[in-house]
Amino acid sequence: MKPKESAVSIIEVKDVRKIYPLGKVQVEAVKGVSFRIEKGDFISIAGPSGSGKSTILNMIGLIDTPTSGEVFIEGKPISGLKDNQLTTLRHDTIGFIFQSFNLVPVLNVYENIEFPLLLGTQKKARRKAADGAIVPARQKMSKKEKTEWIDFLIEQVGLTQWRNHRSNELSGGQRQRVAIARALVGKPSIVMADEPTANLDSTTGEQILDLMKKINKELSTTFIFSTHDARIVDLADHVILLKDGLVTENVRKDGAVAHASAGDGAQPRAEQ
Amino acid sequence: MPVLIRIAFRNMWEHKAKSVIIGGLLGMGVLIMIVGNAMVDSAADGLRRGYIESYTGDVMVSGVSEQPFSIFGSESMEMTDDEELPIVPEYETVYAKLTEDPRVASVSGLVTSFGLLSRDYSEDALADVETDSENMIFGIIFGVDLSTYFDLFPGLTLKEGSLPKPGENAVLLPQGIKDKLDKKYNTTFVPGDKILITGIMGGMRLREVTLAGIYDRGEVNENAPFIISDADTVRVLAGLTMSVDETIELDASQTSLLASDNPDDIFGGDLFGGDMIGEAAVVDTNVQFDNAASLLGDTSKRELLNTAQSGSWHFLLVRLTNENDTYPFIAEMSDWAKEEGIQARVADWKEAAGTYGKMADLVRVIFNIAIIVIAIVAVIIIMNTLVISIIERTAEIGTMRALGAKRSFVRLMFLTETLTQSVFFGLLGAGVAVVGMLVVNACNIPLENGFAQLLLGGETVHLVPSAGTIISTIVAVFLVGWLAHLYPVSIALKIQPVKAMQSE
């Protein structure tokens, strides 16, 4: 496999720590972690339960904030951003796939997928980046374009005949497909998936992974998984292994050098 | 926005039990408010019509007093000797001003007093007050200008007898009072019979009057104690009599006698000790009834105290051609009186009726207090139900936040859900209330009970739902919904996106 010589860092984590208060005790879930993720990566953050993988995923998904350290998204630091700015950035940049699917129960398949498009920023043709540069945002789609795009996604996840069904009428695998389509509807540059196969049987899990890999290749969407599913680790082209809140291994399978920042105790290496 | 309404309606349908609790409360509240207000409106309108058409007219003109009073007399709670009502100042000028106004349909004077009715003096009417208060026949006596009073209140009809003749001291009784007299004296009073009135306003005065007839005012309450009389009789009962102002000069011996502390100086030493009675002798046995009056000397001054001040009136009651002119007319008349330096009070029917006229307002206040209590309870119940709902939907809210929903979206979502529910069930309640009232009206349900007739302003149940009430009720329900959502939303806004990850 040809190494990515000029890979662009889409996410950078620098010496991130996360401490949770647990009664009178403070638990350090992440103990100073640094790594980079490149655009188009299909990356697995793996490790046993309690290793801190979900905590890291939450922080790079902008739904939690580090106690110390810095997370950069597309080169911009997120510390100091207000809740509304974080929300907008999250909406414009990241798609989420949850372990428990997290569909809105009163909406049908089409409406669930459409939901992120109704949350705000599509009206802006351009948005101001944190560094002040004007960057193109997702274009506002016409109603027809939107319908066609959602139907295309529904078709891609194989749910055309379930288009108007509510989530409680779908199987676990079907729900996760809806969640994938929903994560992709805003054409995000990053998709975060927290244990996406944990609640699925092995066949369905494999189908879902194949689908995500296909999207990763076709759309160059960066997929970041938090998992201890061996199949995902096998499928990933970049694996970060965690143990007790520390990175123990940071491996790229394509031969490129896995970038690490100061504070990361793990030795970055490239797998041949 | 459409997605919020969609989510709101579907959540309402999805959580039926919760919706039924909240909606039932709101719908019931709306129903009670609309029906209750219609009842209060009917009562207020009935009361207003009743008073204007039977007692007060559209406008009342009176004198000014520091004590509260109405056409039914003093309303002061203080037990003072000064219970006299003020008279209309510069009556002729005021009367002329009223009658020349083209908006005025009719004007009539009124004098008010109270009295106890009995058959004759031997019954000792005042003794009844202490010994037989249940059988005491009390009356509020309106002394009226008989030539105009019946024009002012065309609803008044004579059931029996005739109007008092000019100059005659006579009364018209309502059937209820006449029945009481019949019962008390075990007889049947007929026109022409004499009745004794003991005035109890501004000192005791007795007046013997003729029963001229029985009148009907269309009273809901047949025991209403309103007696119509000629004006002079009531003036005397009310103390509106000619006054005497004369200084009596005492000579030196009379002055020194009155200054003495010793009763013997005044009455002599053997006032009761001697055989005064035995020694008493008839000095002159030629006193006859015919010449007895001459023994009293000149009684003309005393007679003045029993002579009515003709031309004195407590009130001038006015009916207007168009009752919508009432308040502009009152304002103009008040300004005119002020300009002319006339200390007159110009007021509407409600002030003229005093406490009685404010009864509908009182009912409305009590009703509104009850509604406020219900609203507070509704807010608390809705709030608690919403809090439970938000706790149940923590993961959903977290997911929405993770997907890019701002706090404002979450706030709007719950506001939409609450208001959708409020409006939906509010309109449902309003619809049920209006349809219910229309059905009840169509049934023409008769009201036998006098209080119910008074309360609903008629002899059948007729409730008119007003657009204003419906709109204000919907606004109130909106307000309840808005208030109820504030605290739950504050909880929802604290839910972080990370909660999406913690759902199982």
DSSP string, A24-75: TEEEEEEEEEEEEEETT-EEEEE-STTSSHHHHHHHHTTSS--SEEEEEETT
Best mutation target among B501, B502, B503 (most A Cβ atoms within 10 Å) is B501
Residue A92 burial (10 A CB sphere; 0-12, 13-18, 19+): buried
**How many angstroms separate the CA of residue A214 from the nearest CA in chain B?**
23
Distance CA B184, CA A179 (A): 92
Furthest CA-CA distance within chain B: 125
Among residues B232, B227, B194, the alpha carbon closest in space to that of B211 is found at B194
- Which residue is associated with the tokens 């409305």? B364
- Count interface pairs A-B at CB distance under 8 A: 87
Chain B partners within 8 Å of A107 (Cβ): 6-7, 10
Structure tokens belonging to residue B175: 């059937």
Q: Does A111 contact B14 at a Cβ distance shorter than 8 Å?
A: no
Chain A partners within 8 Å of B401 (Cβ): 63, 87
Best mutation target among B15, B403, B407, B498 (most A Cβ atoms within 10 Å) is B403
Chain A partners within 8 Å of B395 (Cβ): 100, 102
**How many angstroms separate the CA of residue A224 from the nearest CA in chain B?**
15
Chain A partners within 8 Å of B410 (Cβ): none
Chain B partners within 8 Å of A191 (Cβ): none
**How many angstroms separate the CA of residue B397 from the nearest CA in chain A?**
9
Q: Does B11 contact A106 at a Cβ distance shorter than 8 Å?
A: yes
Chain B partners within 8 Å of A98 (Cβ): 399, 500-501, 503
Q: Does B501 contact A54 at a Cβ distance shorter than 8 Å?
A: yes
- Which residue is associated with the tokens 């706030």? B411
User: Across chain A, what does the average pLDDT equal?
Assistant: 81
Question: What's the confidence (pLDDT) of residue B318?
Answer: 94
For residues B31-59, one letter each, b for 16 or more C-beta atoms within 10 angstroms of the residue's C-beta and e for the rest, the string is bbbbbbbbbbbbbbebbbebbbbbbbbbb
Q: Which residue of B has its CA nearest to A191?
A: B403
Decide: A104 and A112 in contact? Cβ < 8 Å: yes
Pick from A186-200, B172-186, B236-250: least confident: B236-250
Decide: B68 and B75 in contact? Cβ < 8 Å: yes
Pick from A118-122, A132-136, A181-185, B252-256: least confident: A132-136
Residue B271 is classified by DSSP as: T
Q: Does A119 contact B402 at a Cβ distance shorter than 8 Å?
A: no
Q: Does B6 contact A87 at a Cβ distance shorter than 8 Å?
A: no
Q: Which residue of B has its CA nearest to A226?
A: B501
Q: Cβ–Cβ contacts within 10 Å for residue B503, how many?
A: 15
Of all residues in chain B, the percent with pLDDT exceeding 70 is 80
- Which residue is associated with the tokens 């005949």? A161
B324-329: average pLDDT: 93
Q: Which residue of A has its CA nearest to B497?
A: A63
Q: Does A102 contact B10 at a Cβ distance shorter than 8 Å?
A: no
Q: Does B406 contact A87 at a Cβ distance shorter than 8 Å?
A: yes
Beta bridge partners of B230: B144
* More confident of the two residues B139 and B130: B139
Q: A266 in helix, strand or coil? A: coil
Q: What is the pLDDT of residues A241-254, one digit of tens each?
A: 999 999 998 888 77
User: Across chain B, what does the average pLDDT equal?
Assistant: 81
**How many angstroms separate the CA of residue A271 from the nearest CA in chain B?**
32
Chain B partners within 8 Å of A105 (Cβ): 14, 396
**How many angstroms separate the CA of residue B47 from the nearest CA in chain A?**
53
* More confident of the two residues B59 and B503: B59
Q: Which residue of B has its CA nearest to A104?
A: B396
Question: What's the confidence (pLDDT) of residue B267?
Answer: 62
A93-104: average pLDDT: 88
Q: Which residue of B has its CA nearest to A61?
A: B402
Decide: B38 and B465 in contact? Cβ < 8 Å: yes
Q: Where are the extended beta strands (E) located within B32-137?
A: 59-62, 69-70, 73-74, 104-118
* More confident of the two residues B274 and B297: B297
Q: Does A83 contact B399 at a Cβ distance shorter than 8 Å?
A: no
Which of A63, A118, A194 is closest, CB to CB, to B497? A63
Question: What's the confidence (pLDDT) of residue A14?
Answer: 93
Distance CA B305, CA B236 (A): 8
Cβ neighbors of B189 (< 8 A, separation 6 or more) are B173, B178, B181, B182, B195, B211
Q: Cβ–Cβ contacts within 10 Å for residue B147, how many?
A: 10
Decide: A225 and A45 in contact? Cβ < 8 Å: yes
Which of B7, B406, B496 is closest, CB to CB, to A84? B406
B191-209: average pLDDT: 82
Q: Cβ–Cβ contacts within 10 Å for residue B217, how many?
A: 18
Question: What's the confidence (pLDDT) of residue A131?
Answer: 45
Q: How far is CA A177 from the centre of its chain?
A: 15
Q: How far is CA B354 from the centre of its chain?
A: 5
Query: What is the ipTM, given to two decimal places?
Result: 0.85
Q: How confident is the model at residue B265 (pLDDT cuts 50, 70, 90)?
A: low
Residues of A with CB under 8 A from a CB of B: 54, 57-58, 61-64, 83-84, 87-88, 90-92, 96, 98-100, 102, 104-107, 111, 115-116, 118-121, 182, 186, 194
Among residues B18, B34, B30, B21, the alpha carbon closest in space to that of B374 is found at B30
Question: What's the confidence (pLDDT) of residue B135?
Answer: 67
Chain B partners within 8 Å of A61 (Cβ): 402
Question: What's the confidence (pLDDT) of residue A108?
Answer: 93
Q: Does A120 contact B498 at a Cβ distance shorter than 8 Å?
A: no
Chain B partners within 8 Å of A78 (Cβ): none
Compute the half-sphere exposure of residue B256: CA atoms within 13 Å on the CB side of its CA: 4
Angle value at C-alpha B60, between B57 and B65, nearest 5 degrees: 150
A178-207: average pLDDT: 85
| Statement: residue B82 has pLDDT above 60 | no
Beta bridge partners of B206: B198
Question: What's the confidence (pLDDT) of residue B332?
Answer: 94
Chain A partners within 8 Å of B503 (Cβ): 98, 100, 102
**How many angstroms separate the CA of residue B491 from the nearest CA in chain A?**
16
Q: What is the pLDDT of residues B450-493, one digit of tens each?
A: 667 766 667 788 887 788 888 888 888 888 888 988 999 999 99
**How many angstroms separate the CA of residue B29 from the nearest CA in chain A?**
29
Q: Does B503 contact A58 at a Cβ distance shorter than 8 Å?
A: no
Q: Does A106 contact B14 at a Cβ distance shorter than 8 Å?
A: yes
Q: What are phi and psi of B390, to 5 degrees?
A: -70, -40
| Statement: residue A134 has pLDDT above 50 | no
Which of B7, B403, B503 is closest, CB to CB, to A100? B503
Question: What's the confidence (pLDDT) of residue B13?
Answer: 86
**How many angstroms separate the CA of residue A104 from the nearest CA in chain B?**
6
| Statement: residue A133 has pLDDT above 50 | no
Pick from A86-100, B247-261, B341-355, B376-390: least confident: B247-261
* More confident of the two residues B278 and B25: B25
Residue B219 burial (10 A CB sphere; 0-12, 13-18, 19+): middle
| Statement: residue B293 has pLDDT above 90 | no
What is the DSSP code string of B7-22?
Answer: HHHHHHHHTHHHHHHH
Q: Where are the extended beta strands (E) located within B248-329?
A: 315-320
Chain B partners within 8 Å of A62 (Cβ): 497
Pairing of β B315-320 and β B104-118: antiparallel
B297-325: average pLDDT: 78
Among residues B239, B154, B160, B157, the alpha carbon closest in space to that of B202 is found at B239
Residues of B with CB under 8 A from a CB of A: 3, 6-7, 10-11, 14, 395-396, 398-407, 409, 496-498, 500-501, 503-504
Pick from A262-266, B42-46, B333-337, B445-449: least confident: A262-266
Which of B14, B399, B404 is closest, CB to CB, to A102? B399
| Statement: residue B382 has pLDDT above 80 | yes
